[in-house]
Amino acid sequence: MLTPPRTVVRREAGLYALERALQRRGFRHVAGADEAGRGACAGPLVAAAAVLPEGRRGEVEGLADSKLLTPASRERVYAEVVDRALAYAVVVIPAEEVDARGLHVCNLAAMRRALASLTTRPEYVLTDGFGVDGLGVPGLAVWKGDRVAACVAAASVLAKVTRDRLMVELDGVFPAYGFAEHKGYITPEHSAALREHGPCREHRFSYVNVAAVSGRDGRPPRARRPGGHRPDEPMERSWASGGTVGVALGEQPRPPTPVGEDVAMEGGVR
């Protein structure tokens, strides 16, 4: 397998320096992957992958780690990434799958699926924090990659904006929890709502704080729990409960396939 000669890229060289160095070594299409929602105790885990074009076309004004951007800036940068990217993919892992398979397994599987869904095949892959194997191309796990590599930052924005939009939708279904404000993360307000109302079906019951208020004596179950729904809750979900959905540019996602860890699922691409 082709690997690049040793190259030193200094952090102060800027967000595009690592990709440009790889491109100079012959890796034209460098993909970045990142996720949003690891630390949340409610809602889905969302992963995204993106390949930005070479040169000025691939430079997105204001691009940065999604956590450093305001909501309005993230939306603007999201639109720019979608417009400029050679390819991108977004994968949504529902809360029940996180419970059943475990967070870390789902995190790696989601990034692998997103990368496998790119219509422009990457020649090199950069991931945020965790290495992802089984891709068939060389790759590098970059510490705080969303602050070091533009393609990872782009994936970070795609994942964060997609997840935030889903959490706002869930707030309309479960208004008691304030999902639109805290996006499912553990805040004093969210914890108070959990104690008062108990968890809903979008909470992650494998998380200790959710299990503690679920009537299971604080023991996090490995598998998903309540099956029913409240009379005032719609049966539909905003995404396919079977595993993944794609979001993008008018292309219809293919029907979900079984959720095996190594199965590539269709994402939004262009």
Q: Name the binding residues.
A: 34-35, 128
Cα separation of 117 and 91, whole Å?
9
Q: Angle 110-91-31 (CA atoms, 0-180°, nearest 5)?
A: 75
- Residues 181 and 197 sit within 8 Å (Cβ to Cβ): no
Q: Which residues are annotated as a binding site for a divalent metal cation?
A: 34-35, 128
Identify the three-state secondary structure at position 108. helix
DSSP of 7-66: ----GGG-TTHHHHHHHHTT---EEEEEEE-TT-SBS-EEEEEEEPPSGGGG--TT---G
Residue type, 197: H
- Residues 170 and 96 sit within 8 Å (Cβ to Cβ): no
Q: Which residues contact 7 (CB under 8 A, 6 or more apart)?
A: 21, 22, 25
